[in-house]
Structure 1
Amino acid sequence: MNDNHIAKIAFFLIILCLTKSIAEAQSAINLTLKRKLDSIMVLDQKYREDIVLLMSPGNEEYLSKKYNVQKKLLNQTLWKKQHTIDSANIVYISAVIKRYGYPGKSLVGTPSNEGAYYVIQHSSRIEEYIKTIAIAAKRTELPFHLYAMMEDRFLMDNNKELIYGSQAASITLNGSINSYIIWPIKDPLHVNELRKKAGFELTVEQNAERLGVNYKVIRMSEINMKK
């Protein structure tokens, strides 16, 4: 047996091993769950995309005709439709987590591993699942910046300062001025360093622009907490 023949056999064995490894990796993915989570991600955005459109002037006429709803009722109607979907989604995701733990990339691949995250992020049950999300992120089953966004959301919901500056809110500043702002940040001087470390691609200023906010540093003392 000459060297050329041996080399061909070795190459064939390497390809065989690689094919086997890929097949084994693919077989570890729960395809049924993956497809379901992909569908859930679509449903999670079903009306949110048009709600965002509604925030920009000039889209009311188009959306009013699309849904056959009066302009003044559009926001209420779209949120009602989305909340109905969200309620069903969180029930399903809760059952999935109870059975499998967080459905991360090892179980469903990417980007399907983000499906459960967004359902929780858009629910009222962040407090219940934030530790689960933290563990998934630390194990790289989920991008860490998503956990960072949820942590910020949790802090804002509890009237605490953000770490990463990822959340915006329409609030009343002292003096009764209603403003759309980036919620107060604990360390605004170093927030972009923290964002970069967490995996965010945009600076806090760029993220604010994306959200339609004129960014400026706001302190908790400037916010009127009276409901």
Structure 2
Amino acid sequence: MKKQLFLIGFIFLSCVGYSQNGINKDLKIELDSIMKSDQILREFVDSETSEDRKKEILKEVGRENDPSFRKNIWSAINKQDSINLIKIEKIIAVYGYPGKSLVGEPTNESAWFVIQHSSKIANYLPMIEEAAKKGEIPFTKYAMMQDRYLTQQGKEQIYGTQGQGKQVTNKETGKKEFFNYISPIENPEKVNELRKKAGFTSTVEENAKRMGIEYKVYTLDEIAKIN
């Protein structure tokens, strides 16, 4: 009888501990692993990543002895993105969006990153919006995804989070070069006010500088005419 009471008490305490914490540890571990695989190769291509760090990354992903890896890095990123999306869609099918109350922070952003880097933003944007309104994910993440969706649709973004680029001909030299710009914004005169309300701590100008882009207001028609 005492043994049965002990077991019942142990199970009860275990359940209480889980409900107090609320974190699915196994899912958290899985999502953290997905997040790392999403970010590590993007860190490699970041212009601010040192050569020493790039060597560390190559070793971490087991490609230090593959001389062709650097040249094919975006193929590797796209392949990993496809793998990660399959995993995330399976997780969402079971749990819904894996937010803060389920996996804690910053793990609650893992699924967001994978969706943001996919071609299925339209499928999940309403879910991301709901998660943001419930505090399961920062509202800034929803804002960024909304901006990306709008720019992908050829529309004006709202918060000025997205930069784009296109190849143009330099009129003076006649040579092709890459032109980077902040994608056209619906209300550029109010964008910093909207950014602040959404939870961003930087201005659109500061965000553009962070991306290595000189901020200038363009309309969709102006961008279309730049060639």
TM-score normalised by the chain length of structure 1 = 0.79
Q: Identical aligned pairs, as a percentage?
A: 44
**Separation in 2 of the partners of 1:207 and 1:188?**
14
**Separation in 2 of the partners of 1:67 and 1:129?**
38
**Equivalent runs, 1:1-227 vs 2, <5 Å:** 24-26=19-21, 28-53=22-47, 68-69=66-67, 74=70, 76-171=71-166, 178-224=178-224
Partner-residue secondary structure (3-state), 2:181? strand
**Separation in 1 of the partners of 2:160 and 2:129?**
18
Using a 3 Å threshold, how does the CA distance of structure 1 residues 209 and 67 change in structure 2: closer, same or farther? farther
**Separation in 2 of the partners of 1:43 and 1:136?**
23
Using a 3 Å threshold, how does the CA distance of structure 1 residues 34 and 152 change in structure 2: closer, same or farther? same
Q: CA deviation at 1:83?
A: 1.4
Q: Is the 8 A contact 2:35 2:113 kept in 1?
A: yes
| Cα-to-partner distance string for 1:134-175 (whole Å, 9 max, x where unaligned) | 110011100000000000000000000010000001025798
- Greater mean alpha carbon deviation, residues 42-51 or residues 148-157: 42-51
Runs of 4+ residues deviating >4 angstroms: 20-23, 62-68, 172-178
- Greater mean alpha carbon deviation, residues 170-179 or residues 32-41: 170-179
- Greater mean alpha carbon deviation, residues 81-90 or residues 168-177: 168-177
Using a 3 Å threshold, how does the CA distance of structure 1 residues 24 and 162 change in structure 2: closer, same or farther? same
| Cα-to-partner distance string for 1:59-92 (whole Å, 9 max, x where unaligned) | 6xx779956536xx83x51111111211111001
The letter for the 1-side match of 2:126 is K
Partner-residue secondary structure (3-state), 2:98? coil
**Separation in 1 of the partners of 2:120 and 2:87?**
13
**Separation in 2 of the partners of 1:196 and 1:67?**
46
Partner-residue secondary structure (3-state), 2:67? coil
Q: Is the 8 A contact 1:46 1:82 kept in 2?
A: no
Q: 5+ residue gaps in structure 1?
A: 1-19
Q: Is the 8 A contact 1:170 1:178 kept in 2?
A: yes
Using a 3 Å threshold, how does the CA distance of structure 1 residues 164 and 173 change in structure 2: closer, same or farther? farther
**Separation in 2 of the partners of 1:52 and 1:38?**
21
**Separation in 1 of the partners of 2:83 and 2:106?**
21
| Cα-to-partner distance string for 1:185-217 (whole Å, 9 max, x where unaligned) | 011101000001001111000000000001110
| Cα-to-partner distance string for 1:82-108 (whole Å, 9 max, x where unaligned) | 112111110010011111110001111
Q: CA deviation at 1:177?
A: 7.3
Partner-residue secondary structure (3-state), 1:37? helix
The letter for the 1-side match of 2:196 is K
Equivalent in the alignment of 1:7: none
Q: Is the 8 A contact 1:173 1:222 kept in 2?
A: no
The letter for the 2-side match of 1:221 is D
Q: CA deviation at 1:25?
A: 2.1
Q: Report the RMSD for the aligned CA atoms in angstroms.
A: 2.9
